[in-house]
Structure formats: C-alpha cells, structure tokens
Amino acid sequence: MTAPPPPNLPVPSVRQMTNGELADLAASGDPYRGKAVFELVDRARSDDDAATRLDQLSRLPALRNDRAFHLVSLAWAAIIGLLAAETAHARARAYAAFEALDSTEQVNFLAYVRAERIEDAHPRI
C-alpha cells in the first residue's frame, strides 16, 4: 500500500530553509513534514543544532504516532538519523530521544535496528 499523494500544495524548498523553519514544518503536521525531518537528518552530521532539533521533534506525539513506514514513525526516523550521523552530539541526542520513548517503543526500536542496546546501534542511511 502506498501513501496517497499530498494535497496540491507547493513543495517547500527544504534545502533553503533554516533549521528552525524545518522544525516548525515537521511539527506542524504539514504533508511535507517527512521532507523536513529528513533534511534535518542530512544536516545532523555537521550541524549540532539540527541534531538537537531532531531530538526535540522525536518527542512530539504527532511524530511518534506518524507511522508512514510500517513500524517506523517519523520519531524513529529522527533517532535513526541521529545515530547514523555518528557525531558525539548527535549520538547523545539519540540516546536522550530513545530514553524518552516508552518501554515497548524502546524494545521495538532496538529490534528494528538489530541492537541489544541503543549504544550498539550504528544504522547506515
């Protein structure tokens, strides 16, 4: 099953947006919120502010409940992106975001990334 196309809205130019604008777009429930999350993921390797915003976004119920890909919510995508960034700041934010998940989500997340502990997860994107 594929997701329906977004309504006929202009596609935001996420690469030209600030981290704050991306975070606002992701938090707003806009049909392009996923594009905003993934742009922040792309920036997290070299931008601590992007990593911090992903951590904050991962805690929002709207992103935790947005399961566009089977089990994976946008919150999980944010945490996976933080882990994949492999910087000390991004990994610290990923650990904090992971700890904010409820225990069932933590178990499911670890199973998804095939790790026994969050510290052992090193996904590639």
Check if the beta carbon of residue 14 is closer than 8 Å to that of residue 34: no
Cα 123 from Cα 120, distance rounded (Å): 10
**With 60 as the cut, is the pLDDT of residue 2 above it?**
no
Check if the beta carbon of residue 38 is closer than 8 Å to that of residue 25: no
Cα 121 from Cα 91, distance rounded (Å): 10
pTM above 0.85, yes or no: no
Which tens digit of pLDDT belongs to each residue from 59-107? 998 888 877 556 788 899 999 999 999 999 999 999 999 999 999 999 9
Phi, psi of 69 (to 5 degrees): -125, 90
Q: Where is 29: in which H helix or E strand?
A: none
Cα 20 from Cα 117, distance rounded (Å): 31
